[in-house]
Amino acid sequence: MLNLSRNRIDKIIDQEKLYSLRAIRTPKAGKILARWMIIIMTLFLIILFVPWQQNVRGTGLVTAFDPMNRPQTIETAIAGRIQAWHVLEGEYVDKGDTIITLSEIREKYFDPELLIRLQEQIAAKERGLQAKELKAAALQRQINALDETMRNKIEQAKAKLEAEKIRFLYAENQFERNTKLFEAGNIPLTKYQEIEYKFQGAQADFVNMQIELDRVRAEYLDKISKAESDLNNTQSEIFDTAGEVAKLRNEYSNMRIRNEQYQIIAPQTGVVVRAIKAGIGETIKEGDPVCTIMPLTESDLAVELYIKAMDVPLISKGRKVRIEFDGWPALQFSGWPSVSVGTFGGEVKVIDYVNSKPGEFRLLVVPDKQDDAWPKQIRFGSGIKGWVMLDNVPVWYEIWRQLNGFPPSLYEAPLDEVLERKQRKAIENYDQK
């Protein structure tokens, strides 16, 4: 009904008695539904323009920022057999406390006095080395003496050779003069033959003296060469013995250090949380883990947060993070962190340059000093969920981005990153000048 007339009949005729009028009337439930739909649509339109803080989600574990404060797996440096455990799981140990005592399993090291035997071998080799050094010194003195004697003998032979040379020249001169006299017939043949005989004798003596000089030189050079050969052999033996001494000393040091490895000690203060090799008499190899120690620290908590590779370029050091710990009741509104309950603040400290898992990168997040302190009840290795907070955008934009699979928007880098870039650029400009 259009209700165009001012003469209304609804006051005269009861509409409840007429089926046609009841059929065309709007039900009350429809009116209520319509009102609620209008209210909901209005609220929805208002919400579409409410600011929404974009974020990057990830999961991870609780850890320590300093690697020294993370769980440490204790490994054995030598092969052996477990002889005794000195601690229990869950027991507190100080740095340097003995955890396990091992016994030897290799027959090479069974001798309990092996170090004494090695010391005796080293002492014997050192005495042999000293004897060879004394022999080398004696040979060197012998060479020096032979060289000095050779020089003296050669000087004596040279002096005799010089005298024979003078006698030879004198005899040669006399022979030449008498030859002329004999040819002129001034001297008899017998005298000339006598002079010729003396000349030949002087010549033979001169030649013999040259030969004697060469003999003396050759004789002493042969003796010196033999002594030098003995000296070289002795020096070679000295070097070999010195090498053997060094090898024995190295073996002694290794054995002394090995004896210290029979006691596996705690590298730092903490709690023994797991015994991997537990049986008495159980044999272990080099590098086998025997237990795990958890350092006691409450001031070095951090979170390993793994995010997708496509989101890494949007994150920088200094970004704020909201964290939800497993087992800790929380209600998180990722786009409105201010109304979240049970979550804790963090700050991105480290971004890995390589992927830690296929398609994922690791972030190290430390507690935000401007937010509430993290609960002391959390344990290392506990799971977490994290939201790295980015910039504010309208809700409609975030819905549109999620439907289209676009990455979050990044309009401005954090302040600390901007300052870091400026400082780096200023240093580069200074270096160029």
Between these two residues, 428 and 218, which has the higher pLDDT value? 218
Greatest mean pLDDT range, 88-92, 302-306, 331-335, 428-432: 302-306
pLDDT for 19 equals 55
Arithmetic mean of pLDDT, 271-289: 84
Domain 54-65+300-432 bears CATH identifier 2.40.30.170: yes
pLDDT band at 415 (very low <50, low <70, confident <90, very high): very low
pLDDT band at 424 (very low <50, low <70, confident <90, very high): low
106-110: long-range contacts (C-beta < 8 A, 24 or more apart)? 106/79, 109/255, 109/258
Between these two residues, 314 and 419, which has the higher pLDDT value? 314
- Residue 332 contacts residue 324 (beta carbons within 8 Å): yes
Greatest mean pLDDT range, 15-24, 116-125, 371-380: 116-125
DSSP 242-282: HHHHHHHHHHHHHHHHHHHTTEEE-SSSEEEEEESS--TT-
Which segment of 147-151, 291-295, 329-333 scores lowest on mean pLDDT? 329-333
Which CATH number is 114-260 given? 1.10.287
Return phi, psi of residue 244, to 5°. -65, -40
Task: Work out the mean pLDDT of the chain and round it to a whole number.
Answer: 81
The per-residue pLDDT for range 181-192, each reduced to its tens digit, is: 777 777 788 887
Question: How big is the chain, counted in residues?
Answer: 433
Which CATH number is 69-104+262-295 given? 2.40.50.100
Radius of gyration of the chain (CA): 53
pLDDT band at 349 (very low <50, low <70, confident <90, very high): very high
- CB atoms under 10 Å from CB of 161, counted, come to 20
For the cut 60, the answer to whether the pLDDT of residue 288 exceeds it is yes
For the cut 50, the answer to whether the pLDDT of residue 324 exceeds it is yes
pLDDT for 347 equals 92
pLDDT band at 1 (very low <50, low <70, confident <90, very high): very low
DSSP 126-146: HHHHHHHHHHHHHHHHHHHHH
pLDDT band at 399 (very low <50, low <70, confident <90, very high): confident
Which segment of 36-45, 133-142, 299-308, 411-420 scores lowest on mean pLDDT? 411-420
Give the CA distances from residue 245 to residues 118, 129, 250, in Å, rounded to whole numbers and listed in that order.
Answer: 10, 9, 9
pLDDT band at 205 (very low <50, low <70, confident <90, very high): confident
For the cut 80, the answer to whether the pLDDT of residue 210 exceeds it is yes
Q: 209: burial class by Cβ within 10 Å (0-12, 13-18, 19+)?
A: buried
The per-residue pLDDT for range 388-398, each reduced to its tens digit, is: 887 777 767 76
Arithmetic mean of pLDDT, 149-160: 87
For the cut 50, the answer to whether the pLDDT of residue 430 exceeds it is yes
pLDDT for 232 equals 93
The per-residue pLDDT for range 26-47, each reduced to its tens digit, is: 667 767 777 888 888 888 777 7
pTM tops 0.75, yes or no: no
Which 3 state secondary structure label does DSSP give 360? strand
Tell me how far apart the alpha carbons of residues 376 and 172 are, in angstroms, rounded to a whole number. Answer: 122
Helices 395-404 + 28-48 axis angle, to 10: 90
For the cut 60, the answer to whether the pLDDT of residue 362 exceeds it is yes
What whole-number percentage of the chain has pLDDT above 70? Answer: 82
Query: Can 54-65+300-432 and 114-260 be said to share one CATH topology?
Result: no
Between these two residues, 99 and 168, which has the higher pLDDT value? 99
pLDDT for 407 equals 65
What whole-number percentage of the chain has pLDDT above 90? Answer: 17
- Delimit the domains of the chain by residue range: 1-48, 54-65+300-432, 69-104+262-295, 114-260
The per-residue pLDDT for range 42-97, each reduced to its tens digit, is: 887 777 776 767 778 899 999 888 888 888 888 888 888 998 888 888 889 998 89
For the cut 80, the answer to whether the pLDDT of residue 284 exceeds it is yes
pLDDT for 137 equals 92
Between these two residues, 406 and 382, which has the higher pLDDT value? 382
